[in-house]
Structure formats: structure tokens, C-alpha cells
Amino acid sequence: MKLIYEEESYQIIGAAQEVHGILGAGFLVAVYQEALAIEFENRNISYEPEKELRIKFKDRYLNKKYSADFVCFDKIIVELKALALLTNDHMAQVINYLKAANFKLGMLINFGEKSLKVKRLVL
């Protein structure tokens, strides 16, 4: 079975691994976000940082919006964390973002552990 957006996912993961390999764990998310943006540029990965996405409820858009850490390739939500451990709540957050934005793939990347953790969440 082929993964959705397989090549794009591998590119994002490779960039995140490079950042984690250099910085390690222990920084705030903002540090990883800035470093990852640089790595995306170095690898020619299409991205928009802190992209505002509108939330649709029934047939209307809400006034409240959320800001994805990154939207890559105009179709993948990338949410960053710097925590000792990811929980189901963090995964639910990305699933909700996918539903609200009508995207198919979200990637939850945690820089806070000794080894980089990446969760692919698909709708």
C-alpha cells in the first residue's frame, strides 16, 4: 500500500532529522521552527510558516482561525512540539486541524525527545 504524499513526507522528515541531529532536544518550539524553515529552504521544500487556516462549521466559516506551524507543499499540515512525550491529545489536535482545513495529511513532529518522533496522521 502506497503512503499518501510519500515523497513529500520523506522530504519533510529528512529536514526535521537534520535539524534534530544538529540541535538535539531541549529548545523551545520557536527555535526548531526557525531552524526547520532554514532547512526547508536549503532543500527547496515548499512551505508557508504559521499559515492561518479557517475553520468551517456546517456551511459557515468561524471568525476564529488557527495557525499551523507549517503548511508544506500546499497540502500537508506540519505541527511541531518540543515535549518529553507526545500524547493522544496532541494527535487529536492535528486530526482536528486536518478536518477543519480539509487536508488529508498532517505530520506531528516532536523535537523534545532524545530521538526525533514523527507521527503521520491521515484523514
Residue 70 grid coordinates:
507549517
3-state secondary structure 23-76: HCCCCCHHHHHHHHHHHHHHCCCCEEEEEEEEEEECCEEEEEEEEEEEEECCCE
* Whether residue 1 has pLDDT greater than 80: no
Name all domains of the chain by residue range, CATH numbers in brackets.
6-122 (3.90.320.10)
Over its C-alpha atoms, the chain yields an Rg (Å, rounded) of 14
The pLDDT value recorded for residue 77 is 97
Query: pLDDT tens digit string along 33-73?
Result: 999 999 999 999 999 999 888 888 888 889 988 889 999 99
- Average pLDDT of the residues in 111-115: 95
The pLDDT value recorded for residue 20 is 98
Judge contact between 35 and 47, C-beta under 8 A.
Answer: no
